[in-house]
């Protein structure tokens, strides 16, 4: 696709945030939005490397609200976009093995239920009765939300791509934004190796690489790209396919069924990134992963690794994404810092952001908790809910 010379808005980055934003801007009537992606396909960053989990259980009520809004959008996604993202509402089971964590989970379940989310707090016996294939000897308590689940991130991206194209957005692949054009104190366009797209608005949704692009335009956002690994196993015939995503919070580990096998992760925060993908090696699970997997689900004792990969989780100090117009550069919008939950929060929050950009105000959700200038971004406590 040839690069347009002008556009009403350029969206930089074709992961879930960028493609959802471009689709919603186009659908809301912004004609000729340009979506720039440096890779040869959409979703090749963190998005396609994710576990595709849609989790509505968070300690932060704003994140619960955003996740619930995405769950609601998924109900009509296939009809609206023509692509089924294969959402399976098999739930999320959050497991505590320490008493203090179980007490917190119980309080969170009560608050989430009061806000309208269906969440049960279970003791070890309750977990064993619902999910007999799990070992519960060390379980102090667990929360289960049956309307959580998981989907195909590829389906989600493809649906938004189709919606964007149908409403006249221009998707330009293999084209990197090398800089943001700022003149007279405001955004004027986006520069690529093939020339500048002049635009009064640009939105940066460049995931882990957003920081340097923004900083070069004078906009500093405290983004911390961290790394997360996933392992995908060969088929495990005995593993029930309708299990929830099971997340151990105290000895971090999660797994969920996938294509007859399972996706597994140590659910740990590792700094930076690595040029090397983790190797499936001889198919054995790494020791720590094997130990945690076996501890929670004996059926995973037969797991053999087929593929392994890693991706970025771009964290912020208060563990919320950063959304809205930059106070430093009018016309420059941010959709960054989705951390470990961009598949869950990206669809709804990028719709609200598109509403603000196209219509002047967000309608689906308030964006105040996510503003670039909020004090909690500067305060920099360690992110609380990064698991
Ligand atoms: C292993 C793993 C598991 C995860 N599991 C889940 C999960 O179960 N549920 C959940 O909700 N979230 C999960 N996440 C988090 C989720 O994947 C991310 O929050 C989300 O994908 C971020 O989307 P994004 O669009 O911001 O970034 P990305 O998907 O990384 O997209 C950014 C895009 O910008 C492009 N780009 C960068 N710079 C430029 C430039 N200068 N010009 C043009 N293009 C550029 C990149 O090529 C990339 O395609 C997981 C993440 C990882 C790593």
DSSP letter string over 300-321? GGG--EEEEEEEEEEE-TTS--
| 3-class DSSP assignment, residue 143 | strand
Residue nearest to atom 15 of ligand 1 (CA): 340
Q: What is the mean pLDDT of residues 116-138?
A: 98
What percentage of the chain has pLDDT greater than the value 70?
Answer: 96
pLDDT, residue 378, reads 87
Residue 1: what pLDDT?
75
**Element at 78 (helix H, strand E):** helix 77-81
48 lines ligand 1 (CB under 6 A): no
For the segment 196-219, the average pLDDT, to the nearest whole number, is 97
- Indicate whether 277 pLDDT > 70: no
**Nearest-angstrom CA–CA distance, 207 and 292:** 30
Residue with the smallest CA separation from ligand 1 atom 35 is: 13
Indicate the pTM of the whole model: 0.96
Element at 68 (helix H, strand E) = helix 61-74
Kindly provide the residue ranges of all beta strands, DSSP E only, lying in 295-377, ordered along the sequence.
305-315, 322-325, 332-336
pLDDT, residue 268, reads: 87
Rounded to an integer, what distance in angstroms lies between the CA atom of residue 199 and that of residue 206?
A: 18
Ligand 1 within 6 A of CB of 347: no
Q: Which of 62, 69, 91, 61 is nearest to 247 (CA)?
A: 91
Average pLDDT over residues 237-251: 96
For 247-275, the pLDDT digits (tens) are 999 999 999 999 999 999 999 888 876 66
Cβ neighbours of residue 383 under 8 Å, at least 6 residues apart?
315, 316, 317, 318, 319, 339
Give the lowest-confidence range in 60-64, 241-245, 275-279.
275-279
Kindly state the DSSP code that residue 81 receives in the 8-state scheme.
H
| Residue 123 Cβ < 6 Å to ligand 1 | no
Q: The domain 10-52+153-223+317-379 belongs to what CATH superfamily?
A: FAD/NAD(P)-binding domain (3.50.50.60)
Q: Whose CA is nearest to atom 8 of ligand 1?
A: 53
Instruction: Return the residue whose CA atom lies nearest to atom 2 of ligand 1.
Output: 50
Over range 322-349, report the average pLDDT: 98
Give span(s): CATH 3.30.9.10, the chain.
90-149+226-312
- What's the whole-number mean pLDDT along residues 120-134? 98
Q: CB 161: neighbour CB atoms within 10 A?
A: 22
CA of 253 from ligand 1 middle (Å) equals: 21
Identify the pLDDT of residue 380.
57
Can you give the pLDDT at residue 269?
86
Superfamily classification of domain 90-149+226-312: D-Amino Acid Oxidase, subunit A, domain 2 (3.30.9.10)
Q: How far is the CA of 156 from the centre of ligand 1 (A)?
A: 13
Domain boundaries for CATH 3.50.50.60 within the chain: 10-52+153-223+317-379
Rg from Cα positions in the chain: 21
Residue 184 tokens read as 């007279």
> How sure is the predictor about 2, in pLDDT bands with cuts at 50, 70 and 90?
confident
46 lines ligand 1 (CB under 6 A): yes
| CA-proximal residue: ligand 1, atom 52 (nearest) | 50
């Amino acid at each position: 696709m040839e690069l347009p010379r002008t556009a009403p808005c350029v969206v930089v980055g074709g992961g879930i945030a960028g493609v959802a934003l471009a689709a919603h801007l186009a659908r809301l009537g912004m004609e000729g939005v340009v979506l720039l992606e440096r890779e040869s396909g959409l979703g090749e960053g963190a998005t396609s490397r994710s576990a595709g989990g849609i989790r509505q259980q968070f300690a932060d009520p704003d994140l619960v609200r955003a996740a619930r809004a995405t769950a609601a959008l998924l109900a009509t996604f296939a009809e609206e976009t023509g692509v089924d993202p294969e959402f399976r509402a098999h739930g999320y089971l959050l497991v505590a093995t320490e008493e203090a964590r179980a007490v917190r989970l119980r309080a969170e379940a009560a608050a989430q239920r009061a806000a309208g989310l269906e969440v049960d707090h279970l003791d070890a016996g309750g977990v064993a009765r619902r999910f007999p294939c799990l070992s519960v000897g060390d379980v102090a308590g667990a929360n289960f939300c049956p309307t959580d689940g998981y989907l195909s991130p590829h389906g989600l991206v493809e649906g938004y791509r189709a919606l964007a194209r149908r409403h006249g957005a221009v998707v330009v692949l293999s084209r990197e934004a090398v800089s943001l054009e700022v003149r007279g104190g405001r955004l004027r366009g986006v520069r690529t190796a093939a020339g500048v797209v002049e635009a009064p608005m640009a939105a940066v949704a460049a995931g882990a690489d957003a920081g340097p692009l923004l900083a070069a335009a004078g906009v500093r956002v405290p983004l911390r790209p961290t790394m997360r690994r996933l392992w995908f196993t060969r088929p495990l015939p005995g593993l029930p396919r309708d299990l929830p995503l099971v997340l151990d919070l105290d000895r971090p580990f999660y797994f969920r069924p996938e294509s007859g096998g399972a996706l597994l992760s140590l659910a740990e925060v590792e700094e930076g990134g690595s040029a090397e993908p983790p190797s499936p090696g001889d198919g054995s699970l790494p020791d720590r992963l094997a130990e945690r997997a076996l501890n929670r689900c004996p059926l995973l004792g037969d797991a053999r690794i087929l593929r392994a990969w890693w991706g970025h989780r771009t964290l912020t100090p208060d563990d919320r994404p950063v959304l809205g117009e930059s106070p430093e550069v009018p016309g420059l919008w941010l959709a960054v810092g989705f951390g470990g939950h961009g598949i869950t929060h990206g669809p709804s929050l990028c719709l609200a952001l598109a509403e603000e950009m196209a219509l002047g105000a967000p309608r689906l959700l308030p964006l105040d908790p996510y503003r670039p200038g909020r004090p909690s971004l500067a305060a920099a406590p360690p992110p609380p809910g990064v698991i």
